[in-house]
Amino acid sequence: MLVNNQSLMETYQRFPVQMVKGKGSYVWDSNNKTYVDFTSGIATCNLGHVPNRVKVAVSAQLETLWHCSNLYHIPVQEELAQRLTEVTFGDRVFFCNSGAEANEGAIKLARKHAKKNNKPEAHEVVTFTQSFHGRTLATLTATGQQHVKSDFDPLPKGFNHLPYNDIDALKGIDKDRTCAVLLELVQGEGGVVPADPTWVQELAHFCNENQILFMIDEVQTGMGRTGKLFAYEHYNIIPDVMTIAKGLGSGFPIGAVIAKEEVAAAFTPGSHGTTFGGNPLASTAGLATLNEITQNGVLDNANKQSTYLFEELKKLQEDYDILKAVRGKGLLIGIEVTCPAKNIVVEALEHGVLLLTAGANVVRLLPPLTLTEEEVDRVLKVLQKVLMHMEEKDGVKQ
């Protein structure tokens, strides 16, 4: 039975289930029904629920220190920052609590960097149609989807949206007024659309030639989600700034802005800050998560299961006309369908599988990087059953 939720603001259309426990690829509701979780808490529990090594590390930290503020040195935070610089292009890290905050920080950093580098008119940030960068006023303005902006006027100025994957559209970038470009290399909320490699490299070259910061939003694609630790590694590019969150903390709230030394130098004491960002508890979760992903064969397993899952989904596409396309990278997968995607998500839930939408007609799969072939097969059977039922119901030819 669901509890009375009248005290909560109605900002979510919640499914009529109450999750109470999770382990690995599975969660259980209050009626003890088991679900295979192919959402990973929206790309957050990349190691599955309650991963053992993260649990041990966090449990130990719970016995020592939870929070002390960033007015003091925090050893585990500094260790996590060092590890992140070792595995990325970056030299400096700023910790915060979420992806939206990370993108806010990156936008502020870009504008301050421009001012400190003799580009006083450069304040615009270029983003792209169907992008998603968060729900704060600045990040929802940066987002290239109109529906998240309704009724929040007046929105901050200084954002320019261009078509995604369109080389000709780069002519729309004002070289003098633009301080940064911010993009996702796979648009998650925008339909699971990977960036075209040629377009990305042209964009990176354009930014480099015109002293415009090249910033990558890896909030959803980071921490192994695309089969590499970070999606930019697929594209033979080096960004100036990268934002991460979600999968960094295995469910504990943590985000980060990672930047090259010369860019990070724009943030001086007092120019940016946060109360909770990178506190001992969150940093411990982040460090244990990062070490697990990079040291224990997690990426190898993710790539193996991704290959198998893509192959089997392509077979389903051949069998069901309702399934129009399968796309994505690694274990960030979109299934474009001819019916409302939510209908498939709702029916899969009834069969014990958690899925997501990514727009009106795309079902999104975000399984943990630790999943097994047996779990893939279990979900594929449910998907087949649901697709068959949808075609029968809608009269689609099989």
State the pairing for strand pair 255-259/241-244. antiparallel
CA distance 383 to 360: 18
Helices assigned H by DSSP within 171-211: 197-209
Phi and psi torsions of 19, nearest 5°: -80, 130
Please report the pLDDT score of residue 397 as a whole number.
46
Rounded mean pLDDT, 365-385: 98
Per-residue pLDDT for 242 more than 80?
yes
Structural contact between residues 248 and 44, judged by C-beta atoms closer than 8 angstroms: no
Per-residue pLDDT for 398 more than 60?
no
Assess if CATH 3.40.640.10 describes domain 52-295: yes
Q: How confident is residue 288, by pLDDT bands cut at 50, 70 and 90?
A: very high
**Look-up of token digits 């396309």:** 325
- DSSP letters for 232-258: GGGTT---SEEEE-GGGTTTS--EEEE
Tens digit of each residue's pLDDT (9 = 90 or more) over 54-74:
999 999 999 999 999 999 999
Please report the pLDDT score of residue 396 as a whole number.
52
State the pairing for strand pair 186-187/124-128. unpaired
Per-residue pLDDT for 135 more than 80?
yes
Q: How confident is residue 4, by pLDDT bands cut at 50, 70 and 90?
A: low
State the pairing for strand pair 353-354/255-259. unpaired
The answer to whether the bond into 154 is cis (omega within 30° of 0) is: yes
Rounded mean pLDDT, 162-188: 96
CA distance 69 to 66: 10
Please report the pLDDT score of residue 6 as a whole number.
84
Q: In what order do the strands lie in the sheet with 178-183?
A: 92-96, 255-259, 241-244, 213-217, 178-183, 124-128, 159-162
Type and span of the H or E element at 92: strand 92-96
Tokens found for residue 14 = 């919640």
Per-residue pLDDT for 378 more than 90?
yes
Q: Which of 259, 153, 174 is nearest to 216 (CA)?
A: 259
E-state strands within 120-176 = 124-128, 159-162
Please report the pLDDT score of residue 395 as a whole number.
58
Q: Which residues contact 99 (CB under 8 A, 6 or more apart)?
A: 133, 134, 217, 219, 220, 243, 244, 245, 246, 255
User: What is the CA 310 to chain-centroid distance, rounded?
Assistant: 20
Please report the pLDDT score of residue 224 as a whole number.
98
Please report the pLDDT score of residue 346 as a whole number.
97
Per-residue pLDDT for 311 more than 70?
yes
* Residue 333: CA count within 13 A, CB half-sphere: 28
Please report the pLDDT score of residue 99 as a whole number.
98
CA distance 257 to 215: 10
Structural contact between residues 137 and 124, judged by C-beta atoms closer than 8 angstroms: no
Please report the pLDDT score of residue 46 as a whole number.
98
Please report the pLDDT score of residue 17 as a whole number.
95
Calculate the alpha carbon distances from 356 to 16, 119, 198, 335, 347 in Å.
Answer: 15, 42, 29, 10, 12
Q: How confident is residue 393, by pLDDT bands cut at 50, 70 and 90?
A: confident
Angle between helical axes of 280-295 and 75-87 (0-180°, round to 10): 30
CATH code of the domain occupying 19-51+298-394:
3.90.1150.10
Tens digit of each residue's pLDDT (9 = 90 or more) over 313-359:
999 999 999 999 999 999 999 999 999 999 999 999 999 999 999 99
How confident is the prediction for the chain on average, in pLDDT? 96
Domain locations in the chain as residue ranges: 19-51+298-394, 52-295
**Above pLDDT 70, what percent of the chain?**
98
Q: How confident is residue 118, by pLDDT bands cut at 50, 70 and 90?
A: confident
Please report the pLDDT score of residue 202 as a whole number.
97
